[in-house]
Chains A and B, each alone.
Chain A
């Protein structure tokens, strides 16, 4: 199985690469449309600014191939900004259009709590998901973000709470996404990545 790590020019690609390698998975960096097309599964990691991700995808012509792959049912895992990009837009860069796989807008977490939401937090599991096999509400995951998807839809498999509840794990058919960083979340994160590899196989 070949996993395409979307490399849009910023982001946490090397650490995701390292985490996959430790799990024995083969991955390659995809920076151009044909590379997305020949993948068996796609991971979109992301860290930093929403605008850098959207512009990075567009500058490399990756938006349409990505959407086509998702429409074909190719297994997909979005990480952090990779989750946020699935919505229609984000308050972080309101002028840019997201991938619009899911309805709604990503918004800043409420003031009154420390932001960024940085550190280890737990999930509230809403529905069973193959991505969460062997993972319970006792597991901690590493978060580092200020913006979040706060409108709950049927695709939310688990939420997290920081000032307000927000989507932490999404599943829509073969499209998955997590707001936290599984590649930085110790054994719990490795289990989640392993689950993704298994269901993508």
Chain B
């Protein structure tokens, strides 16, 4: 008896609508966040992530309203992020109904933000999102939606983030994101072995086999995907049944 491996659908939004892109570019509309949230909640998703990828200041109220609408549909935990720069930003997201917040670019420029959030909401509510891109034998941390280098080593940054108070790492492979070639197992294994907190693998999921690999070989505690779920090409229920058949512990509806 142990922790189930989590399957986490992710809603990338422009604040109001779910959007879909490849390698952080070329966005298309993929539906209403609250409708998708209700569907995933019913299908057996273990958690839900909703991100504001536009993260523009003037659209903030719209995103908070989206969080409220999504939270109303869920009986599972909700993580929200995108553009969280201050404790106040995080508080408004939590007050709107998020159980956890993710920080990314702002944490790189101001690492103390991680500690502030951890003190306020507890480590279990602070998810450090790391976008990592392979460079020779290491992984470089990328910011601003994957476009710029933060000049940080992903393993070092993960370790530091945890020391500052992050309770979970959301690890996205910039190289794999949107490619449907499968999770970056090497990256996931390396980060998972480096930190003491749970790691959510993200980027590149297409088939159930990709999920099985990232749990078995990548040592991921959870796996996140967006488009394969939005498309309806992969139902969460069926994915979990396939994983369970391979001896991977997942939460199946009773």
Q: Please tell me if A87 contacts chain B, counting CB pairs below 8 Å.
A: no
Contact with B along A157-201 (1 / 0, CB 8 A): 000011000000000000000000101111111100000000000
Residue from B46, B75, B119, B254 in contact with A119 in the complex, judged by beta carbons closer than 8 Å: B46
Report the bound CA distance from A146 to B27 in whole Å.
39
Known: A120-B251, A161-B1, A184-B75. A48 touches B122 (CB 8 A): yes
User: How many whole Å from B189's CB to the nearest CB in chain A?
Assistant: 14
Whether B251 contacts A140 by the Cβ 8 Å rule is: yes
Q: Please tell me if B145 contacts chain A, counting CB pairs below 8 Å.
A: no
Report the bound CA distance from A118 to B126 in whole Å.
12
Q: Please tell me if A49 contacts chain B, counting CB pairs below 8 Å.
A: yes
Q: Please tell me if B106 contacts chain A, counting CB pairs below 8 Å.
A: no
Q: Please tell me if B121 contacts chain A, counting CB pairs below 8 Å.
A: yes
Contacts of B99 in A (CB 8 A): 12, 15, 47, 144, 184
Residue from A121, A137, A187 in contact with B75 in the complex, judged by beta carbons closer than 8 Å: A187
Residue from A19, A161, A187 in contact with B253 in the complex, judged by beta carbons closer than 8 Å: A187
Q: Please tell me if B224 contacts chain A, counting CB pairs below 8 Å.
A: no
Whether B72 contacts A18 by the Cβ 8 Å rule is: yes
Interface residues of A: mostly helix, strand, loop or mixed? mixed
Report the bound CA distance from A41 to B122 in whole Å.
27
Contacts of A63 in B (CB 8 A): none
Contact with B along A13-49 (1 / 0, CB 8 A): 0110011001000000000000000000000000111
Q: Please tell me if B125 contacts chain A, counting CB pairs below 8 Å.
A: yes
Residue from B2, B125, B197 in contact with A48 in the complex, judged by beta carbons closer than 8 Å: B125
Interface residues of B: mostly helix, strand, loop or mixed? loop
Q: Please tell me if A153 contacts chain B, counting CB pairs below 8 Å.
A: no
Whether A111 contacts B196 by the Cβ 8 Å rule is: yes
Name which of B1, B120, B125 has the most chain A CB atoms within 10 A of its CB: B1
Contacts of B251 in A (CB 8 A): 120, 140
Within 8 A of A (CB), among B21-71: 41, 46, 71
Contacts of A161 in B (CB 8 A): 1-2
Q: Please tell me if B3 contacts chain A, counting CB pairs below 8 Å.
A: yes
Closest partner residue, chain B, to A189 (CB atom): B75
Q: Please tell me if A61 contacts chain B, counting CB pairs below 8 Å.
A: no
Report the bound CA distance from A126 to B245 in whole Å.
29
Contact with B along A116-128 (1 / 0, CB 8 A): 1111111010000
User: How many whole Å from A118's CB to the nearest CB in chain B?
Assistant: 5
Q: Please tell me if A138 contacts chain B, counting CB pairs below 8 Å.
A: yes
Contacts of A183 in B (CB 8 A): 75
26 A-B pairs whose Cβ atoms sit less than 8 Å apart in the complex: A12-B99, A14-B95, A15-B97, A15-B99, A18-B71, A19-B75, A47-B121, A47-B122, A47-B125, A48-B120, A116-B197, A118-B3, A118-B124, A120-B6, A121-B3, A121-B4, A138-B254, A140-B4, A142-B76, A144-B99, A144-B125, A146-B123, A184-B76, A186-B41, A186-B76, A186-B253
Residues of A at the B interface (CB closer than 8 Å) are: 10, 12, 14-15, 18-19, 22, 47-49, 111, 114-122, 124, 136-140, 142, 144-146, 161-162, 181, 183-190
9 closest A-B pairs by beta carbon, nearest first, are: A48-B122, A144-B124, A140-B251, A120-B4, A116-B124, A120-B251, A119-B3, A186-B75, A184-B77
Residues of B at the A interface (CB closer than 8 Å) are: 1-4, 6, 41, 46, 71-72, 75-77, 95, 97, 99, 119-125, 167-168, 196-198, 221-222, 251, 253-254
